[in-house]
């Protein structure tokens, strides 16, 4: 499970177990205002600037996920932006209500949009949190203070309203990370720029867990140069590539082609019938061009396969004022499958032999369950990477377990001569 999906999983677990508490809405609104004023470069009245953001993959230099974003910013109605990546490029000039846009490529990838947002407006979802009664403070005693929104209809989260903004208590009110349906963004390495504190390192990932990093290599004052902000050939709305986030109901009304007779692979655990939610983005013709698992709670084993299914969808063009746009959406897939061979369950002794690189306790701090024996359960894939972690005691926060054991190295386990995923059970006594 990638970190984006893990945060969503942990968040839903916390909501289910009542680990969050409502906060003072007025105080949180004031906090959001302070964070925006301090951590966002493009607020009205902010000084003009020139910025360059270099994007690389944290795991490999040979990936297609790299690029460069350069911005000359006078104010929200006057700026130019140039982005270059192997997948897509754009030169954009905004002057008042006119726009000049030149694109290389017919699809604006989600990961590129995420880095543009990171530079220009990392707190775009703050407006959806402000004044909302469902803002929450997560982990009051922990390092992060988070303000959240999570509309729930009939007990089911509305994915499009879910949003979370967090700051690191040790860094004042500097933004730590944001999380919503579209992406996860981590921020660090803050430096002073006039009256602001601006992150110079940004972390995000594609949904297939390619970890990406953006580094602000240039941030300097800029005296507006009209030659860079002059529009010579305005672009009509039909010539622009814009993306709209749409609801499941909207995209289902536009389905043109859907895969039939899907042969879902057998699963080794979990439900044999249910629903998977895929984060999908179409191009302007309605063809799905980007898809990745978003919520696979009904059966996580099927997450790698749901992308293949989602990419077969074709929708009618989504029109705004008669002009087609890319669609970003939660695509719901129904599955029926069969049971395969069960996943091996390793006992405490086997688990302690396979896990290295971290301290494996025999006791754990859990006063409400003091004296009881508790099992911590790790789900480990065939590559030896921890997917999820939980415990037999639901009162222990999932994120606290993840933080405690994230440095552990998990050995490979073979069954019938073949390396396989497994569940590792660690037995500890609550104190």
Q: Is residue 369 part of a domain?
A: yes
- Are residues 265 and 214 part of one domain? no
> Could you say which of 336, 363, 378 is where a domain stops?
336
- Are residues 15 and 157 part of one domain? yes
- Are residues 287 and 352 part of one domain? no
58 vs 65: CA distance, rounded Å? 10
- Are residues 150 and 214 part of one domain? yes
Q: Is residue 87 part of a domain?
A: no
pLDDT of residue 76: 96
Helices (H) and strands (E) in the chain, counts: 9, 31
Q: Is residue 236 part of a domain?
A: no
pLDDT of residue 363: 87
CATH number, domain containing residue 310: 3.30.1150
Buried b (16+ CB within 10 A) or exposed e, 159-175: bbbbbbbbbbbeeebbb
Q: Is residue 226 part of a domain?
A: no
User: DSSP letters along 65-101, please?
Assistant: --EEEEEEEEETTEEEEEEE-SS-EEEEEEETTEEEE
The total number of structural domains in the chain stands at: 3
- Are residues 353 and 328 part of one domain? no
- Are residues 375 and 291 part of one domain? no
- Are residues 40 and 143 part of one domain? yes
- Are residues 411 and 324 part of one domain? no
- Are residues 168 and 49 part of one domain? yes
pLDDT of residue 2: 46
pLDDT of residue 60: 63
Q: Is residue 230 part of a domain?
A: no
Domain around 212: 3-72+105-220
- Are residues 281 and 153 part of one domain? no
Q: Is residue 237 part of a domain?
A: no
Give the strand pairing for 49-57 and 211-221. Answer: antiparallel
Q: Is residue 228 part of a domain?
A: no
Q: Is residue 18 part of a domain?
A: yes
- Are residues 63 and 184 part of one domain? yes
pLDDT along the chain (431 residues), means of 10: 46 44 73 92 96 88 82 98 97 97 97 95 86 57 72 65 80 83 91 96 81 96 96 97 94 96 93 94 97 88 91 98 97 95 94 91 83 91 88 80 87 93 92 83
pLDDT of residue 156: 57
Residue 121 DSSP SS3: coil
- Are residues 425 and 357 part of one domain? yes
CATH number, domain containing residue 114: 2.50.20
């Amino acid at each position: 499970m990638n970190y984006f999906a893990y945060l969503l999983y942990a968040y839903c677990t916390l909501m289910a177990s009542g680990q969050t508490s409502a906060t003072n809405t007025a105080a949180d609104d004031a906090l959001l205002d302070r964070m925006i004023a301090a951590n966002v470069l493009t607020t009205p009245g902010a000084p003009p600037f020139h910025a360059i953001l270099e994007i690389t993959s944290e795991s490999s230099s040979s990936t297609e996920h790299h690029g460069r974003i350069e911005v000359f910013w006078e104010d929200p109605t006057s700026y130019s932006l140039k982005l270059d990546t192997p997948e897509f490029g754009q030169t954009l000039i905004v002057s008042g209500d006119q726009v000049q846009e030149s694109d290389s490529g017919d699809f604006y990838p989600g990961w590129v949009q995420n880095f543009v947002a990171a530079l220009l407006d990392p707190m775009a979802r703050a407006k959806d949190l402000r004044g909302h009664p469902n803002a929450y403070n997560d982990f009051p005693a922990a390092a992060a203070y988070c303000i959240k929104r999570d509309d729930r209809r009939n007990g089911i989260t509305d994915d499009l309203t879910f949003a979370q903004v967090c700051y690191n208590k040790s860094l004042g009110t500097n933004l730590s990370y944001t999380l919503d349906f579209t992406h996860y963004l981590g921020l660090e390495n803050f430096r002073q720029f006039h009256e602001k504190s601006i992150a110079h390192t940004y972390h995000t990932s594609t949904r297939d867990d390619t970890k990406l990093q953006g580094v602000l290599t240039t941030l300097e004052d800029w005296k507006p140069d009209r030659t860079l902000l002059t529009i010579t050939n305005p672009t009509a709305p039909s010539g622009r590539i814009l993306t709209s986030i749409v609801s499941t109901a909207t995209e289902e009304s536009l389905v043109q082609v859907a895969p039939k007779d899907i042969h879902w692979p057998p699963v080794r655990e979990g439900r044999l019938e249910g629903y998977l939610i895929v984060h999908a983005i179409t191009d302007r013709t309605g063809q799905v061009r980007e898809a990745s698992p978003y919520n696979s709670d009904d059966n996580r084993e099927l997450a790698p396969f749901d992308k293949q299914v989602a990419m077969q969808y074709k929708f009618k063009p989504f029109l705004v004022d008669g002009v087609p746009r890319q669609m970003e959406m939660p695509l719901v897939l129904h599955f029926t499958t069969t049971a395969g061979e069960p996943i091996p369950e390793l006992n405490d002794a086997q688990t302690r032999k396979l896990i290295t690189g971290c301290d494996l306790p025999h006791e754990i701090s859990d006063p409400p369950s003091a004296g009881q024996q508790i099992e911590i359960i790790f789900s480990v894939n065939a590559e030896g990477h921890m997917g999820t972690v939980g415990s037999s005691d639901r009162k222990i926060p999932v994120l606290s377990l993840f933080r405690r054991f994230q440095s552990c190295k998990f050995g490979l386990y073979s069954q019938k001569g073949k390396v396989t995923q497994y569940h590792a059970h660690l037995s500890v006594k609550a104190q």
